[in-house]
């Protein structure tokens, strides 16, 4: 065991380390490569920035407690299922690099701080990958990362965007108390297993909304035979694979995935916020497509439906809004209908309103001659506004009932 050492790579400190291979409160001023090999001929353990090296350690269980890494950490391939590499309360000031590695053993990062880039592109974790209570300070994309066993992101704090682009979740991903402060993208993940979502602290965020501007710029840079679809694919792929950007459609799909996973687990209460955000994002997406010259009818149709859903019950989440919407829409059409009978004059003095007739009007099955005592022969527009009012009142009542059923 090594405790309280400053390891520079110039001093041969590691030859006397025991098979437990544990470092406590150590400061690494050199590049570190894990998992350490059990044969000094296999690979270097540590590489100094200047090119010097240290011999490898024996054994496969590596533990770092309260350690600080000033240079890059490289996670190399290891094909021993008994290998366990554990980092507890460690600080990584630069990059953690595991690209193209295959890990058959367990890898644990517990309560660690990743202040540099985290690169697990094309990495395969055949055993447990545990990131419990870690903090990621920079945008992170798990690109084509294969999690073939359990992967834990419980209590993890992502300061910037995190994307799981073409990531395989073969068994189980645990998202308990996960806190992404910016964007979170599961839309392109290959979810063959399950997601365990609980107390997931996830709210609305700013997505990559200027993709269409970047698309226009991409088209201008290429010949006329460069198709719109090819240009879009280039911009889109660069965003989700390299730039850590989350397009609106990815954002919406992530909300849908989380909602569906929660509903499949009968957790309807926690699914409600994701259903709301899914619809909000679809509304924003439709407005963007309409503003950027996409087909007219589908975006405008979505906008009309979604705006009405937002106004009537906030996408199925507020029955109080449903009551307010129904009463408000009824008063509007009631006054429009009244303007075509007798000598009606609108007034803001509610004491002079025709309350008994309004109560009848708010019933969508009311009689057409419910105001015959006021005017036996109302004008034609009275019946037109009465008919339209019935439709909207019925819609408002339906939306109110739907909001009451938000928890199924």
DSSP-assigned letter for residue 208:
B
**137: which 2 tokens?**
């300070």
- Specify which residues 118 forms β-bridges with: 96
Q: What percent of the chain has pLDDT over 90?
A: 61
The answer, yes or no, to whether residue 185 has pLDDT greater than 90, is: yes
- Do residues 138 and 120 lie in contact, with contact meaning Cβ atoms separated by under 8 Å? no
- Among 9-18, 184-193, 254-263, 295-304, which is the least confidently predicted range? 9-18
Mean pLDDT calculated for residue range 218-232: 81
**How many residues does the structure list for the chain?**
408
Over the stretch 92-107, which tens digit does the pLDDT of each residue have? 999 999 999 999 999 9
Cα separation of 260 and 135, whole Å? 27
The mean pLDDT value of the chain amounts to 86
Residue 39 has pLDDT above 60, yes or no: no
Please state, in angstroms and rounded to a whole number, the distance separating the CA atoms of residues 131 and 154.
7
Q: How far is CA 55 from CA 13, 38, 42, in A?
A: 9, 10, 10
The whole-number pLDDT of residue 372 equals: 80
Where does residue 165 fall: left (phi above 0), alpha (psi -120 to 50 degrees), or beta otherwise? Answer: beta
SS3 404: helix
Treating both helix axes as pointing N-terminal to C-terminal, what angle do 268-291 and 248-264 enclose, rounded to 10 degrees?
A: 160
**Whether 18 contacts 1, CB under 8 Å:** yes
Poorest-pLDDT segment among 141-155, 227-241, 263-277, 291-305: 291-305
Backbone φ and ψ of 275, nearest 5°? -65, -40
pLDDT band at 204 (very low <50, low <70, confident <90, very high): confident
Cis peptide before 208 (omega within 30 of 0): no
d(C-alpha 28, C-alpha 50), whole Å: 14
What band does 190 get if pLDDT is binned at 50, 70 and 90? very high
Asked if residue 127 has pLDDT above 90, the reply is: yes
- Between residues 104 and 1, the one the model is more confident about: 104
Percent over 70 (pLDDT), the chain: 86
Give the predicted TM-score (pTM) of the model.
0.85
Report the helix count and the strand count for the chain, using DSSP H and E.
8, 31
């Amino acid at each position: 065991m090594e405790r309280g050492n400053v390891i520079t790579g110039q001093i041969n400190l590691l030859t006397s380390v025991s098979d437990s291979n544990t470092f406590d409160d150590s400061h690494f001023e050199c590049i570190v490569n894990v998992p350490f090999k059990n044969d000094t001929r296999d690979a270097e353990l540590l590489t100094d920035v200047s090119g010097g090296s240290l011999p490898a350690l024996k054994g496969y269980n590596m533990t770092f407690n309260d350690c600080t890494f000033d240079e890059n950490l490289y996670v190399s391939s290891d094909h021993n299922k008994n290998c366990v590499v554990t980092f507890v309360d460690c600080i990584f000031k630069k990059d953690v690099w595991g690209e193209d590695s295959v890990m058959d053993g367990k890898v644990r990062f517990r309560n660690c701080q990743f202040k540099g880039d985290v690169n697990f592109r094309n990495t395969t974790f055949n055993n447990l990958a545990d990131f419990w209570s870690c903090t990621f300070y920079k945008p992170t994309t798990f690109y084509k990362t294969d999690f073939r066993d359990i992967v834990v992101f419980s209590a993890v704090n992502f300061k910037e965007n995190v994307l799981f682009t073409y990531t395989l979740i073969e068994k189980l991903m645990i998202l308990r108390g996960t806190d992404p402060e910016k964007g979170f993208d599961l839309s392109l993940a290959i979810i063959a297993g399950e997601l365990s979502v609980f107390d997931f602290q996830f709210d609305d965020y700013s997505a990559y909304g200027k993709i269409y501007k970047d698309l226009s710029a991409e088209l201008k840079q290429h010949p006329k035979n460069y198709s719109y679809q090819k240009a879009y694919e280039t911009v889109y792929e660069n965003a989700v694979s390299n730039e850590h950007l989350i397009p609106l459609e990815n954002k919406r799909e992530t909300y849908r995935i989380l909602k569906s996973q929660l509903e499949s687990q009968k957790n309807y209460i926690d699914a409600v916020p994701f259903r709301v955000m899914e619809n909000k994002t679809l509304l924003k997406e439709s407005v963007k497509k309409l503003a950027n010259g996409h087909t007219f009818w589908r975006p405008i149709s979505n906008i009309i439906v979604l705006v009405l859903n937002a106004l009537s019950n906030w996408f199925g989440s507020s029955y109080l809004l449903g009551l307010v919407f129904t009463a408000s829409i009824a008063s509007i059409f009631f006054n429009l209908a009244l303007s075509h009978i007798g000598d009606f004059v609108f007034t803001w003095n509610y004491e002079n309103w025709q309350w008994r007739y309004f109560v009848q009007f708010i019933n969508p099955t009311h009689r057409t001659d419910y105001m015959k005592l006021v005017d036996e022969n109302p004008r034609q527009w009275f019946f037109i506004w009465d008919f339209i009012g019935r439709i909207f009142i019925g819609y408002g009542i339906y939306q109110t009932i739907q909001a009451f059923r938000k928890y199924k």
